[in-house]
C-alpha cells in the first residue's frame, strides 16, 4: 500500500514522460465502425426499401437510426481521445479536430464544471489571451492526471473539488517524514 502511495506522490518521476492516458481504443473504434455501418444501412433502407406506399413508421425509422448513429459518430470524433504528458507541455488529442497543446507555465486553473454533464474545465493562456478546454469527468485516471498536472504546473489553481483530490507539497512532505521513521 505504501509503495503505491509513494509511486503516486511522484507520479511523473515514477511513471516517466512522455506518458499517455486514453479511452479504451477498442471500444472507441468499435463504436465508430458500428455507427458508420448503421448510417450505411439506414441509407440503403431509404433508397431500397422505403417508398411512398410504406407506412409513416417505416419511413421514419431509418432517419431515427441515422440520427442516433451520426450523433454517436460525431461524439467519438470530437470528444477527447487521449492526453499526453511531456516535459514541456500537456497535449489534448482528438480524432476529428485539432490537438490542443498547452505549455505547463501557461496553465492557470483546473476546475469541475457541474453543468448538465460533469466536465473538467482547464483554463490557460494562449498568446496572452485566456482560453478554456473542457472534457468529460469520466475520462480514465482523473486522479492521476490531476496530480500529474499539479506536479508539472505548481502555479495552477484548483477548485474545491479538485483541490481536495490533489496531493499538495505539504501532504507529500508529511507522508515522507512519517515513512522515514
**Residue 173 pLDDT:** 65
Using pLDDT thresholds of 50, 70 and 90, give the confidence band for residue 82. very high
The yes-or-no verdict on residue 33 having pLDDT over 80 is yes
Using pLDDT thresholds of 50, 70 and 90, give the confidence band for residue 1. very low
Rounded average pLDDT over 40-48: 95
CA distance 87 to 16: 10
Pairing state between β 118-126 and 129-136: antiparallel
More confident residue, 68 or 4: 68
- Grid coordinates 506518458 are at which residue? 19
Sequence-separated (6 or more) residues with CB below 8 Å from residue 66: 38, 39, 42, 43
**Residue 143 pLDDT:** 86
Please list the alpha-helical segments (H only) found in 11-141: 11-15, 25-48, 56-78
Rounded average pLDDT over 12-38: 91
Sequence-separated (6 or more) residues with CB below 8 Å from residue 147: 8, 11, 165, 166, 167
Rounded average pLDDT over 41-51: 93
**Residue 17 pLDDT:** 86
Using pLDDT thresholds of 50, 70 and 90, give the confidence band for residue 68. very high
**Residue 167 pLDDT:** 77
How many Å is the Cα radius of gyration of the chain? 22
Using pLDDT thresholds of 50, 70 and 90, give the confidence band for residue 122. very high
pLDDT digits over 124-179, tens only? 999 999 999 999 988 999 888 988 998 899 899 999 888 888 876 666 666 667 77
In degrees and rounded to multiples of 5, residue 123 shows phi and psi of -110, 135
Closest CA relative to residue 81, chosen from 143, 135, 162: 135
The yes-or-no verdict on residue 108 having pLDDT over 90 is yes
Task: Give the highest mean pLDDT range of 12-16, 48-52, 63-67.
Answer: 63-67
Is residue 144 within 8 A of residue 8, CB to CB? The reply is: yes
Amino acid at each position: 500500500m505504501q509503495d503505491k502511495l509513494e509511486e503516486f506522490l511522484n507520479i511523473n518521476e515514477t511513471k516517466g514522460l512522455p506518458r499517455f492516458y486514453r479511452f479504451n481504443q477498442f471500444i472507441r473504434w468499435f463504436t465508430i465502425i458500428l455507427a458508420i455501418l448503421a448510417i450505411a444501412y439506414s441509407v440503403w433502407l431509404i433508397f431500397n426499401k422505403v417508398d411512398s406506399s410504406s407506412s409513416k413508421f417505416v419511413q421514419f425509422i431509418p432517419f431515427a437510426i441515422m440520427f442516433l448513429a451520426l450523433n454517436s459518430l460525431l461524439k467519438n470524433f470530437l470528444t477527447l481521445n487521449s492526453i499526453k504528458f511531456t516535459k514541456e507541455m500537456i497535449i489534448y488529442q482528438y480524432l476529428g479536430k485539432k490537438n490542443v497543446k498547452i505549455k505547463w507555465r501557461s496553465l492557470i486553473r483546473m476546475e469541475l464544471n457541474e453543468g448538465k454533464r460533469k466536465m473538467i474545465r482547464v483554463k490557460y493562456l494562449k498568446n496572452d489571451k485566456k482560453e478554456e478546454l473542457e472534457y468529460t469527468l469520466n475520462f480514465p485516471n482523473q486522479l492521476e492526471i490531476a496530480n500529474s498536472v499539479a506536479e508539472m504546473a505548481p502555479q495552477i489553481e484548483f477548485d474545491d473539488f479538485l483541490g481536495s483530490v490533489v496531493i499538495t507539497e505539504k501532504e507529500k512532505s508529511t507522508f515522507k517524514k512519517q515513512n522515514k521513521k
